[in-house]
Amino acid sequence: MIIKNINHDASYHTEKIAVMFFPLEKLKTGGDDNVVIETKKENNLLSVKVKAYSRFLEKTYELKENDDVTHSLSILLYDTLSELTGYSLPWGILYGVRPARLMHATVEKCGVDGAVQKFLDDKVEQKKIDLALSVMERENKIIALSSDNSFSLYVSIPFCPSRCSYCSFVSHSIANAKDLIQPYVELLCRELENIGKIAKNLGLRLESIYFGGGTPTTLSAEQLEILLTVIERNFDLSTLREYTVEAGRPDTVTEAKLNTLKLHNVERISINPQTFSDDVLKAIGRKHTCAQTVEAYELARKVGFKNINMDFIAGLNSDTPESFNMSIDKAISLAPESVTVHNLALKSAAFLCTENEFFDLTERSNAAKMVDYSYNTLLENGYNPYYMYRQSKSLGNLENVGYAKDGFDCLYNVFMMDETHTVLAAGAGAVTKLKDPKTAHIERIYNYKYPYEYLNNFDEVLSRKKGIIEFYGE
């Protein structure tokens, strides 16, 4: 895809909007392409020309007094692409990751009615506006729990039994990385000890802990015991509001591991089906069955877990609205405390498609049906949307939403997504995010991405953590 921006300063916005319509097209700087977009300002006239395969459309708009050029050009481009493709984006021209936070800021500035009108002016569908308002209200209650010296702890376990076809996380299958796990755990313990010492010396208050991955329960019960014990010895848990460990893959869940988590006061776990269709599981490379998911869930209940989350993905390969709806219905019958519905993140295209395939709206339409069904059905069954985020290359430009029964909102998800306070992070691929509570300025400290890099450069990992002390000392 080639985008030509002429005589204006809105190129960042035009590129973002174009990518939302054509998420698999790679941006090029010159030459020719199947998709060529030209946006131009000439005196008071804005113009957009789009060529996509054999289709061509041009629209113009004459600027009026007090019109904002960037917004007017964004709307003109949106209208042109929508008419050309036959598809309207549910979030209109909004491309940000955090629509609920944007809603919060807009409400503070314009009031609820003014914010709603602003979102409508940006071509956002009314049902998405309602969703953003609902999430904003619940997020604000959680954000209010945080104080100036609050922080959360993230622990990365980048290993899984096998790699799913849709996965974009830093995750290694144990078939390829089994020998790395034990040395990884040993160094992770050292990093946690280091972070704990820093947090204590700075007088930081721990609000939530989250083990993510990968699949943390890929570790053995003994390895989990070691890590959880290190955390207890090195962090003040007296202020802890929430302790989550993802047990995402049902084929990693055992009674011994669950008992270990329970013994160390982990209250919240995730058991993630992604789908309750065995055919879809096979298509996406998940090496477990739906029956195993139910068995893992029932085992967790038997052990005593009263806060269980389940994840699903709309738009998986070979899934249909009917089978997806069945998955949501099955989840509701099991009654987990929270359900997260993700929208499939698209990977960059590495193939050429025909014009008919390019303009085929079936997958986007199906994903929208799935997301709408989950929203309506979960709401009807006592689950409320409490956090939300978007990805730039998602199927149908839709959103990922966490739903929970009253009292079971995941605090870490909100703290992390809102960037409420500092998150100190340990492990491969982990990113420490430091937030100044007075200025809202954020700095990041990156760990090495892959486990073997983390192991080979561990002294540098610890050295970078000195940045935490420097940040708070400034």
Does residue 366 sit within a domain? yes
Does residue 213 sit within a domain? yes
Largest CA distance in the chain: 71
Does residue 92 sit within a domain? no
My answer on whether 133 and 246 are in the same domain is no
pLDDT above 50 for 474: yes
| Whether 258 contacts 300, CB under 8 Å | yes
Number of folded domains that form the chain: 3
My answer on whether 353 and 307 are in the same domain is yes
What is the average pLDDT across 298-309? 98
Mean pLDDT for the chain overall: 94
Token pair belonging to 433 = 């995010």
My answer on whether 37 and 107 are in the same domain is no
Q: What is the pLDDT of residue 175?
A: 60
* CATH code for the domain of 251: 3.30.750.200
Instruction: Output the CA torsion sign for 451, 457, 462, 467.
Output: negative
pLDDT above 80 for 330: yes
What is the average pLDDT across 98-109? 96
pLDDT above 70 for 99: yes
Strands 399-404 and 384-390: antiparallel
pLDDT above 90 for 171: no
pLDDT above 70 for 315: yes
What is the average pLDDT across 103-122? 98
* CATH code for the domain of 41: 3.30.160.100
Measured CA to CA, the distance from residue 103 to residue 170 in angstroms comes to 31
Burial degree of 463 (CB within 10 A; 0-12, 13-18, 19+): exposed
pLDDT above 50 for 2: yes
Name residue, tokens 């073997």. Answer: 452
Q: What is the pLDDT of residue 163?
A: 59
Burial degree of 217 (CB within 10 A; 0-12, 13-18, 19+): buried
**225 or 353: whose pLDDT is higher?**
225
Q: What is the pLDDT of residue 31?
A: 79
Token pair belonging to 340 = 């997260």
**2 or 31: whose pLDDT is higher?**
2
Confidence of residue 351 (pLDDT cuts 50, 70, 90): very low
Domain stop point among 73, 108, 141: 141
Q: 54: domain range? A: 2-85
Measured CA to CA, the distance from residue 212 to residue 223 in angstroms comes to 15
Does residue 26 sit within a domain? yes
Task: Give the tens place of pLDDT for each residue, 408-424.
Answer: 999 999 999 999 999 99
pLDDT above 80 for 184: yes
Token pair belonging to 404 = 């929970």
My answer on whether 256 and 382 are in the same domain is yes
Does residue 318 sit within a domain? yes
My answer on whether 219 and 294 are in the same domain is yes
My answer on whether 270 and 350 are in the same domain is yes
Q: What is the pLDDT of residue 168?
A: 53
What share of the chain has pLDDT > 70, as a percent? 95
What is the average pLDDT across 91-103? 96
Q: What is the pLDDT of residue 350?
A: 41
Task: Give the tens place of pLDDT for each residue, 56-87.
Answer: 999 999 999 999 999 999 999 999 999 999 99
pLDDT above 80 for 215: yes
What share of the chain has pLDDT > 90, as a percent? 85
My answer on whether 152 and 252 are in the same domain is yes
My answer on whether 180 and 123 are in the same domain is no
Confidence of residue 295 (pLDDT cuts 50, 70, 90): very high
Does residue 473 sit within a domain? no
Residue type for position 48: V
Measured CA to CA, the distance from residue 163 to residue 159 in angstroms comes to 9
What is the average pLDDT across 269-292? 92
Does residue 430 sit within a domain? yes
Does residue 326 sit within a domain? yes
My answer on whether 147 and 136 are in the same domain is no
**349 or 326: whose pLDDT is higher?**
326
My answer on whether 275 and 396 are in the same domain is yes
My answer on whether 222 and 236 are in the same domain is yes
Q: What is the pLDDT of residue 236?
A: 98
Element housing 260 (H / E): helix 255-263
Confidence of residue 347 (pLDDT cuts 50, 70, 90): low
My answer on whether 336 and 315 are in the same domain is yes
Confidence of residue 113 (pLDDT cuts 50, 70, 90): very high
Q: What is the pLDDT of residue 23?
A: 86
Q: What is the pLDDT of residue 123?
A: 98
Q: What is the pLDDT of residue 21?
A: 93
Residue 85's closest CA among 25, 32, 39, 22? Answer: 22
Task: Give the tens place of pLDDT for each residue, 124-134.
Answer: 999 999 999 99
